[in-house]
Amino acid sequence: MKPQSYELHMLLSETPGDEMKDVIIGLEVHVQLNKLRSKLFCSCSTQYHDSEPNMCTCPVCLGLPGALPVINEKAVDSAIKVALALNCNIEEQIMFYRKNYYYPDLVKGFQISQYDYPIAMDGKISIEADGEREIRIKRVHMEEDPGRLIHVGTIDRSRYSLIDYNRSGVALLEVVTEPDLRTPKEARLFLNKLRNILEYLDVFDGSLEGSLRVDANISLAGGARAEIKNISSYKGVEKALLFETVRQKNLVRRGIRVAQETRHYDEVRGITISLRTKEEEKDYRYFPEPDLVPLRIGDRVDDIKRALPELPDAKRQRLVKQYDISDHHAKVLTSELKLANFFERVATKVDANLSATWIADVLKGELNYRGIGIDAFSPEHMIQILQMLKNDKITEKGAVQVIRTILDEGGAPPEIVKRKGLLKIEESIITRAVAEVIKENPAAVKDYHDGKNEALHFLMGQVMKKTHGRADPSMVSKLLKEKL
């Protein structure tokens, strides 16, 4: 039997890109409001990640008899804030319901959620996928997080599972899209945009385990829908949907009916696994939560709207207008709030276009290569590097070397420049190096005179080597052409 990865590769090679238009994808994104101090219906801490299992619990989040829920006011305000940022219509009144189903991590046997009266409806997010695409948001509603199952091995082969109720009761916001997504890549772009908005709103910390989880619904036009549950990474969502697209297309090719079911994505093996037949809405037996009264929230909306921070799209437009930088650079810089703030701090001290180029293209690339964030680099150090570059004290190559040294070893830019001998050298030294290189490489000189432009690049490289990368490349090129 051929490995799964081989079959996936072969099927993908047979699937033309335009066939993806038959794919219908909708997402249910569960966002932990983990910047709150306490859970949705009790006073237990949301900062459970470094705690021993089952220590951040109380009778309410453990569902003990007689324990009654009390709504967290700040959680409601945070949910309204997110719904406004997603361009939703806020409901005047909300209600909580009991969603009944059995699962070991659901200690009460039901989840307090919302049904007929959610926080908000009818929103939208724009993504850039072969042009700008608008993805509709069907609804945004609140619910409590279940506990966490820890499987010893993969979910289908685990010998036993452990349960940790620390996250049980943490406030969750579920963002449900309409089935407007057409490719796994679009799903990833949507999630990146959503996470970006959430970080600007400061309602959750995306670096924490379990902070954003996705249920992805996917079908082929006219076919049954499969739901892939609890995918915990953006790349995982894209890979799971890609696998599921190929799996369903393969079944159709063989004349096999696609079953409506719930599936699990195994990140280790890169496959989806059937868990159970897909539940329908009636299976959850929703009914109003008798221990929580309906809430009127309409009068809170205006105050929350006035307090909304500048969101990514608005910040991107402002950076282009205020600093006269390219839209591409503005898009990169606003992809993270910390990165945008870093840029503005630097751009007030150094030329804005120079700052945008070096932060968006060079610094971010070096950070991504090392898998670290912008917090690892000081804006003051960036200002010093760019000032030295602009004042012709170091070359671009030297500036890159300083950035890499700071990230790998630490230190301050002036000290690194001095220690590594990165100060640009005088023109007389470059002139002497150019003369030596021309004398030492007669074959390359002949090739240049015969019209082979690559010979010039070779000679430039030799000059840069002689000057230990401290010569200005534009000056080297100019002097070489004059001498040749």
What residues pair up with 151 in beta bridges, in sequence order?
161
Tell me the CA distances in angstroms from 422 to 386, 394, 457, one per residue in order: 14, 6, 22
CB–CB of 238/232 below 8 Å? no
At which residue do the structure tokens 């006011």 appear? 73
Confidence of residue 16 (pLDDT cuts 50, 70, 90): very low
Q: How many angstroms separate the CA atoms of 35 and 46, rounded?
A: 8
Count other Cβ atoms within 10 Å, centred on residue 125: 22
At which residue do the structure tokens 């992809």 appear? 335
The stretch 336-355 carries a mean pLDDT of: 96
At which residue do the structure tokens 């949910």 appear? 79
In order, the DSSP letters of 148-213 are EEEESS-TTT-S-EEEE-TTTT-EEEEEEE-S-B-SHHHHHHHHHHHHHHHHHHT---TTSTTSEE
Averaged confidence pLDDT in the chain: 89
| HSE (side-chain half, CA atoms, 13 Å) at 257 | 4
Position 230 pLDDT exceeds 90: no
Position 19 pLDDT exceeds 80: no
| pLDDT per position as a tens digit, 190-214 | 999 999 999 999 999 988 888 999 9
Q: How many angstroms separate the CA atoms of 109 and 112, rounded?
A: 10
Q: How many angstroms separate the CA atoms of 227 and 213, rounded?
A: 13
| pLDDT per position as a tens digit, 73-131 | 999 999 999 999 999 999 999 999 999 998 889 999 999 999 999 999 999 999 987 78
Q: How many angstroms separate the CA atoms of 303 and 349, rounded?
A: 35
Six-digit token string for 282: 């009636």
Task: Sort 105 into a burial class: Cβ within 10 Å, 0-12 / 13-18 / 19+.
Answer: middle
| pLDDT per position as a tens digit, 250-289 | 999 999 999 999 999 988 888 999 988 877 788 889 999 9
Name which residue leads in pLDDT, 14 or 440: 440
| pLDDT per position as a tens digit, 142-175 | 999 999 988 887 777 788 899 999 999 999 999 9
Q: How many angstroms separate the CA atoms of 471 and 475, rounded?
A: 8
**Residue 415: which H helix or E strand, with range?**
helix 413-419
The stretch 407-420 carries a mean pLDDT of: 92
Q: How many angstroms separate the CA atoms of 252 and 259, rounded?
A: 11
pLDDT of residue 2: 43
Q: How many angstroms separate the CA atoms of 216 and 171, rounded?
A: 21
Count other Cβ atoms within 10 Å, centred on residue 92: 11
Confidence of residue 11 (pLDDT cuts 50, 70, 90): very low
Position 306 pLDDT exceeds 90: yes
**Residues sharing a CB contact under 8 Å with residue 455, sequence separation 6 or more, in sequence order:** 444, 445, 447, 448
Domains along the chain with CATH numbers: 4-303 (no CATH), 312-419 (no CATH), 427-483 (1.10.10.410)
| HSE (side-chain half, CA atoms, 13 Å) at 18 | 0
Position 5 pLDDT exceeds 70: no
Gyration radius of the chain over CA positions: 29
pLDDT of residue 448: 78
**Residue 356: which H helix or E strand, with range?**
helix 352-357
Count other Cβ atoms within 10 Å, centred on residue 337: 19
pLDDT of residue 484: 79
Tell me the CA distances in angstroms from 23 to 119, 196, 256, 267, 470, one per residue in order: 30, 26, 17, 22, 54
The stretch 2-21 carries a mean pLDDT of: 47
pLDDT of residue 241: 95
In order, the DSSP letters of 47-84 are --TTSPTT-S--TTTTT-TT------HHHHHHHHHHHH
pLDDT of residue 439: 81
- Can you give the length of the chain in residues? 484
Q: What is the percent of the chain where pLDDT is above 90?
A: 68
Torsion sign over Cα 462, 463, 468, 470: negative
CB–CB of 77/301 below 8 Å? no
Look at residues 211, 201, 188 and name the one whose alpha carbon lies nearest to residue 312: 201
**Residue 218: which H helix or E strand, with range?**
strand 212-220
In degrees rounded to 5, what are phi and psi of residue 207?
-80, -15
Confidence of residue 352 (pLDDT cuts 50, 70, 90): very high
**Residues sharing a CB contact under 8 Å with residue 29, sequence separation 6 or more, in sequence order:** 174, 175, 176, 177, 191, 194, 212, 213, 214
| Beta strands 261-266 and 226-231, pairing class | parallel
